[in-house]
Amino acid sequence: MYLIEKNNVMKLAEELAKSYDLYGPVIDKETKQVFFNKVENASEISLTAEIPALPPKTIVFPQIERITKYKYDKTAKKAEIAMTYDDRSKAIFGIRPCDLTGILVLDRFFLGQEFVDDVYKEHRKRMFIVSNTCVVPFKQCFCVCTDSGPAADEGYDLNLTEIGDMYLVETGSEKGKAFAEKMGLKPAGDEYITLKKKAVDKSISLFEKVATDNKAWISRVMNRVTTGFIKDDVWKHIGNQCFECGACSFVCPTCSCFNIEDHNRFDGSTDRLREWDSCSFEGYTKMAGDHNPRHPVEDRRNKRFFCKLSYSQSKKYLRPGCVGCGRCQWVCPGDIGLPNVVTYIRREITE
């Protein structure tokens, strides 16, 4: 544990920018919307900005990304193929605990199973992560229901917690520790363990007053989703409200489904692209000969919540698939973001 004065905290980012591409929360000047984006200068980053509209998963798993480039020479009958992985070193500065949890879930999906995804690995392997404890929740948050905040437990190199006019800097890796030492940070006394706990407890106590948009008490619902006892009518009620836009998957810090497409370039070469996909689309599960295990829209919706909230799926992620960021709720045209779905299911249980 180390300490740094509030007005010096950005020096950490400045130092990281020397050896990494630096990413952090940036407020758009025109519209005030927050994005987690690459910055030219550490001063663009705001550590107090609200949860970014788009989760930082875009850094390790971009919306659309070239993974291979090829050109076929018809006369020579030869194809030139180039793997074009993004192997730049990236530092993520000021990621919120929910979004960090999202990246850990993605790690378990892309790296933690039998098949290791090289494209993802290249994004991820030289990464330096600085997380930022939420000492005050935001309106849309419910991470306290999903065990993914307001403070991060793992996955960071450094974790910042605002305490008075200081930031407490915890190290979560050797790399983080070496960096803190190199920066000559002042060691923090043991009293900061209590001070941090106080700050986190205070944040949790603020949820009831501040985080009023969403509530999602998911534990009972997880049981229900896993055992499959939810009535068809409830899924139908939810399915009728689905506009099939895919937004819930796109903004979800843990959604990892993708599609592969070949994009023919004007110069005769081809880019092989990987792009976000969503289980809410009918074409996503369609198989040859018109077999579709999830034909009606309510089946597709239901699959998404099965993925987020069932035990069997959680075993893979070592936690629920929902991290409580509340983004699906505000992008959903049908008003069936995860918190509302949890409410519908709980209402059924109570009835």
Partner 1 sequence: MDYKSGVCNFCGTGCGNYLKITDGRITGVFSSRNHPVSKGRLCVRGWHLHEWLMTDQRIDAPMIRVDGSLKKVSYEEAVNFMMDRMSAYKGKENKEIGFLASPRSSNENNYLFMKLARGVFKTNNITLDSESGHKASLNVLSEGTGFAGMTGSLEDIAKTDFILVVGSDLTKMNPIIGSEIHKAQMSGTKVVTICSRSSQIAKLSNVHLQIKPGSKKVILGALAKAAISSGAADSDYISKFTEGVEVFKNSVNSLEPADIEALTGADYSLITSIAEELCKSSSAMAFWSTGIAGLDQDTVSYIYDLFLVAGKIGKEFSGVNPIAGIANLQGGYDMGAAPDLLTGFQKINSDAASKFEKAWGTTLNKEAGRDIYDLLADKNSGLKALVVADHDEGIVRYEKEIEALDFVVYFGAYDNPFIKHADVVFPVAALIEDNGTYTNTERRVQLSQKRIEPFENVMPGWKLFPMIAAKASQNWNYSSAEDVFKEITSLTPEYAGLTYAKLIDSMGIQWPCNDKNPAGCRRLDAEKAGRKFKFADVSGNYKTPSATAEYPFLLIRGQGEHFWHQNNIMKKSYIPKREYNATLLVFPEGYVEICKEDAKALQVREHWGVKIVSASGAMKVSVKISDDVKPGTAYVPYFIREMITEFLLEHKSDIGRGEDAIIPVRIERV
Mask for 244-283, x = binds partner 1 (CB under 8 A): xxxx--x--------x-x-xxxx------x-x-x---xxx
CB neighbour class for 244 (10 Å; exposed up to 12, middle 13-18, buried from 19): middle
Mask for 195-234, x = binds partner 1 (CB under 8 A): ----------------------------------------
Edge-to-edge, what's the strand order for the sheet holding 64-73?
78-83, 64-73, 270-276, 258-264
Shortest approach of partner 1 to residue 175 CB, angstroms?
27
For β-strands 34-38 and 21-27, DSSP reports them as antiparallel
When the beta carbons of 53 and 183 are compared against partner 1, the nearer one is 53
Q: Do the Cβ atoms of 338 and 113 come closer than 8 Å? A: no
Round to whole Å and give the CA distance between 167 and 140. Answer: 25
Q: Taking CB under 8 A as the rule, does residue 46 contact partner 1?
A: no
Q: Is 259 left (phi over 0), alpha (psi -120 to 50) or beta?
A: beta
Q: Taking CB under 8 A as the rule, does residue 89 contact partner 1?
A: no
Length of the chain equals: 351
Q: Taking CB under 8 A as the rule, does residue 328 contact partner 1?
A: no
Round to whole Å and give the CA distance between 329 and 309. Answer: 16
Q: Taking CB under 8 A as the rule, does residue 241 contact partner 1?
A: yes
Q: Taking CB under 8 A as the rule, does residue 58 contact partner 1?
A: yes
Shortest approach of partner 1 to residue 189 CB, angstroms?
39
Round to whole Å and give the CA distance between 308 and 57. Answer: 16
When the beta carbons of 217 and 243 are compared against partner 1, the nearer one is 243
Interface with partner 1 (CB under 8 A)? 26, 28, 30-33, 35, 37-38, 44, 53-54, 58, 62-64, 240-241, 243-247, 250, 259, 261, 263-266, 273, 275, 277, 281-283, 286, 288, 290, 330-335
